[in-house]
């Protein structure tokens, strides 16, 4: 009764959870490209797309992906053998346990008329599958806690997944082990299945089970005489043997049984068997009910993602389906850290200390953002930088074991985040190169705004400083403001020949360069000579510098003009980052 109530409650929560989660794939809007999509349109487009695949030639691609990517998990194997082994052990063991053990009444018993959970091969296989999961979980803990795969972060969800699996497995193994030793279980079985009431005979049977089936009895203890055991065997053969293989075959439970045998009688009296049974089924039911809301939901979302990847083509798929796929992909990410491990920008994370630079952490954040989280100003700044400090090398997309198209996800979400009215200093760097290449795709949005906003923010005080009615406060070489530019003192050799400005191709592009660029290269060097560092960090010349180093190459005084412009850019960015 309790069992059924718990089972159907958790199953109901599970099903409602799955329906809810899948519905969010069609309703949630990721980034900028899904802003104007409607749920109904996306559901319709999705159904149309699925029908098109099932009744079209792409069904072959789908089946191939199902076999190679979903069942055999080729993408994980390509990345790391140990991880593939871990995942195959957990997922293979768990699926087999689910089908053979948890659903035995519906599946195993229907397929095999001779099925008994305590008979071989079923008993042995159950322990084998259980051991597979345990070994997989041990590898998972090893990877996260001991091996310390670089940049792999372990969050609460990862811990939950490992813990729920460990509790289910260990409670199952201990339940089995203690049940083997349990004298009360033995008595219960005797009452139900033996054909005799004869005390002597029952004692012989008990002796036989203590001797051969690891039961720990408070009444009988070995060594037993040959005769008693022979009598016991006769009764065993008649009443028990048809349903019981030797417990050694349940090798994990048997090991537990042997280990606890000195205290088995006490454990049995304390009601350990029913306690562990509750722990085991409650853990299973909790895991089931919570699955749609936990990391374990990837067991559903990740195969869907892999299949979507197999049949969706970049550029030709319906934009509505792309929007749905991106919402789904957030659930398909199981925070495995492969993308963060292979990320080209990972050293930027190490130097700048912003966790959101790691793609795996961006995904965790995006899940919360898309679910409706509001951002604090600090979080917005951090995620804007994190999403922009990306070299667009596409490695994350290539290696993602879940087949998530991270490239398109970044482009889409990046645009949304940098269009918010907060200046993002890192747009003023070659990280903008790929955004520039994609500008035609971004034209409906305000393409120039993020860059213009950052340039304006960087030169906020510049116009004031340049006000000709204001006296200049010279600070001179060696002043404290210059300490912001350590080992950059080559400007001191400038004698104002203006060669740098003359050879600058950027200056040469304008009729009236000072108006466009604020200060020209030689003027910036002059500023530095006068200690006017704040003024030197303001002109647009810094951001319009094409970094061709003509100025530096042609300086007769070996002033490192281009390097100094870089140092000033760094300083301006630092000021913006900390403001």
Partner 1 sequence: MKYALFLGCNIPARVSQYETSSRAVLKRLDIEPVDIREFNCCGYPLKNLDRKAFVLSAASNMALAEKAGLDLLVLCKCGYGTFKEAEYLLKEHGELKREINRSLHDSGLNYEGRVQVKHLLSVLYHDVGIAALKSKISRSFKNLKIATHYGCHALRPSAVTRFDDPVAPTVFDELVRVTGAKSVDWATKLECCGAPLMGINDELSVTLTTRKLEDGRRSGADFLCTACPYCQIQFDTVQKMMILHKGNGGPLGAVLYSQLLGLSMGMDAEALGISMNRIDISNVTSFLSEET
Does residue number 458 form part of the binding site for partner 1 (CB under 8 A)?
A: no
Exactly one of 373, 509, 556, 579 binds partner 1 (CB under 8 A); that residue is 509
Q: What's the closest the beta carbon of residue 421 comes to partner 1, in angstroms?
A: 20
Q: What's the closest the beta carbon of residue 409 comes to partner 1, in angstroms?
A: 15
Q: Is the peptide bond before 223 cis (omega within 30 degrees of 0)?
A: yes
Exactly one of 121, 319, 436, 556 binds partner 1 (CB under 8 A); that residue is 436
Nearer Cβ to partner 1, position 379 or 544? 544
Size of the site for partner 1 (CB under 8 A): 55
Burial (0-12, 13-18, 19+ Cβ within 10 Å), 223: exposed
Nearer Cβ to partner 1, position 289 or 428? 428
Does residue number 552 form part of the binding site for partner 1 (CB under 8 A)?
A: yes
Three-class SS state of 194: coil
Does residue number 196 form part of the binding site for partner 1 (CB under 8 A)?
A: no
Residue 436 CA, chain-centre distance (Å), reads 30
Structure tokens at 305: 């993602």
Does residue number 556 form part of the binding site for partner 1 (CB under 8 A)?
A: no
Q: CB–CB of 209/232 below 8 Å? A: yes
Q: What's the closest the beta carbon of residue 391 comes to partner 1, in angstroms?
A: 4
Strands (E), 218-334: none
Q: What's the closest the beta carbon of residue 571 comes to partner 1, in angstroms?
A: 10
- Residue 445: other Cβ atoms inside 10 A: 15
Does residue number 344 form part of the binding site for partner 1 (CB under 8 A)?
A: yes
List the one residue out of 568, 150, 573 whose CA is nearest residue 389. Answer: 573
Exactly one of 282, 549, 557, 575 binds partner 1 (CB under 8 A); that residue is 549
Nearer Cβ to partner 1, position 348 or 417? 348
List the one residue out of 113, 129, 125 whose CA is nearest residue 245. Answer: 125
Task: Determine the Cα–Cα distance for residues 178 and 264; give it in Å rounded to an integer.
Answer: 7
Helix residue ranges per DSSP H, 119-271: 122-141, 156-181, 183-193, 199-212, 226-239, 251-260, 264-269
Does residue number 343 form part of the binding site for partner 1 (CB under 8 A)?
A: yes
Exactly one of 391, 419, 498, 557 binds partner 1 (CB under 8 A); that residue is 391
Q: CB–CB of 537/465 below 8 Å? A: no
Does residue number 76 form part of the binding site for partner 1 (CB under 8 A)?
A: no
List the one residue out of 130, 129, 132, 140 whose CA is nearest residue 163. Answer: 140
Exactly one of 394, 408, 489, 514 binds partner 1 (CB under 8 A); that residue is 394
Nearer Cβ to partner 1, position 46 or 360? 360
Nearer Cβ to partner 1, position 116 or 566? 566
**Sequence-ordered list of residues with C-beta below 8 angstroms from that of 200, at least 6 positions apart, any chain:** 231
Contacting residues toward partner 1, per CB under 8 A: 150, 342-348, 350-352, 389, 391-395, 425-437, 439-440, 451, 487, 505-506, 509, 543-544, 546-550, 552-553, 560, 562-563, 566-567, 569-570, 573-574
């Amino acid at each position: 009764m309790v069992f059924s109530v718990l089972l159907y409650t958790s199953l109901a929560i599970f099903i409602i959870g799955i329906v809810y989660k899948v519905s969010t794939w069609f309703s949630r809007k990721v980034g900028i490209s899904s802003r104007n999509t409607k749920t109904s349109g996306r559901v319709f487009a999705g159904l149309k797309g699925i029908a098109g695949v099932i009744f079209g030639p792409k069904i072959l691609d789908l089946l191939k992906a199902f076999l190679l990517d979903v069942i055999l998990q080729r993408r994980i194997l390509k990345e790391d053998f140990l991880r593939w082994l871990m995942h195959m052990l957990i997922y293979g063991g768990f699926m087999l346990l689910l089908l053979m053990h948890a659903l035995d009444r519906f599946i195993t018993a229907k397929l095999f008329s001779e099925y008994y959970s305590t008979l071989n091969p079923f008993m042995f296989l159950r322990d084998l599958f259980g051991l597979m999961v345990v070994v997989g979980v041990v590898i998972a803990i090893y990877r996260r806690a001991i091996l310390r795969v670089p940049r792999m972060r372990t969050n609460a969800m990862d811990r939950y997944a490992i813990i729920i699996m460990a509790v289910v497995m260990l409670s199952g193994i201990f339940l089995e082990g203690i049940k083997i030793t349990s004298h009360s279980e033995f008595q219960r079985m005797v009452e139900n299945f033996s054909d005799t009431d004869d005390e002597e005979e029952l004692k012989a049977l008990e002796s036989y089970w203590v001797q051969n089936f690891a039961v720990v009895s408070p009444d009988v203890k070995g060594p037993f005489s040959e005769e008693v055991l022979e009598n016991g065997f006769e009764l065993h053969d008649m009443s028990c043997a048809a349903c019981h293989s030797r417990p050694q075959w349940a090798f994990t439970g048997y090991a537990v049984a042997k280990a606890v045998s000195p205290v088995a009688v006490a454990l049995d009296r304390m009601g350990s068997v029913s306690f562990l049974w509750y722990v085991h089924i409650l853990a299973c039911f909790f895991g089931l009910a919570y699955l749609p809301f936990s990391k374990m939901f990837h067991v559903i979302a990740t195969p869907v993602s892999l299949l979507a990847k197999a049949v969706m083509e970049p550029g030709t798929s319906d934009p509505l389906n792309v929007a749905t796929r991106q919402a789904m992909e957030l659930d398909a990410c199981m925070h495995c850290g492969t993308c963060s491990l292979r990320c080209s920008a990972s050293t930027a994370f190490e130097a700048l200390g912003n966790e959101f630079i790691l793609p795996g952490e961006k995904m965790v954040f995006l899940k919360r953002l898309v679910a409706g989280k509001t951002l604090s100003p600090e979080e917005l700044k951090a995620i804007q930088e994190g999403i922009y400090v990306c070299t667009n090398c596409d490695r994350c997309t290539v290696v993602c074991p879940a087949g998530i198209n991270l490239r398109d996800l970044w482009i889409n979400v990046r645009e949304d985040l940098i269009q918010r009215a907060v200046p993002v200093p890192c747009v003023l760097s070659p990280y903008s190169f790929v955004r520039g290449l994609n500008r035609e795709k971004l034209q409906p949005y305000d393409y120039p705004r993020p860059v213009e906003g950052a340039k304006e923010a960087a030169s906020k005080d510049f116009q004031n400083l340049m006000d000709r009615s204001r006296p200049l406060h010279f600070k001179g070489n060696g002043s404290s403001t210059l300490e912001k530019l350590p080992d950059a003192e080559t400007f001191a050799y400038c004698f104002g020949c203006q060669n740098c400005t003359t050879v600058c191709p950027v200056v040469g592009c304008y009729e009236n360069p000072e108006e466009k660029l604020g200060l020209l290269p030689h003027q910036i060097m002059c500023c530095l000579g006068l200690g006017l560092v704040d003024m030197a960090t303001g002109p647009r010349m810094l951001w319009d510098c094409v970094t061709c180093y003509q100025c530096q190459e042609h300086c007769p005084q070996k002033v490192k003009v281009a390097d100094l412009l870089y140092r000033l850019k760094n300083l301006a960015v630092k000021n913006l980052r900390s403001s």
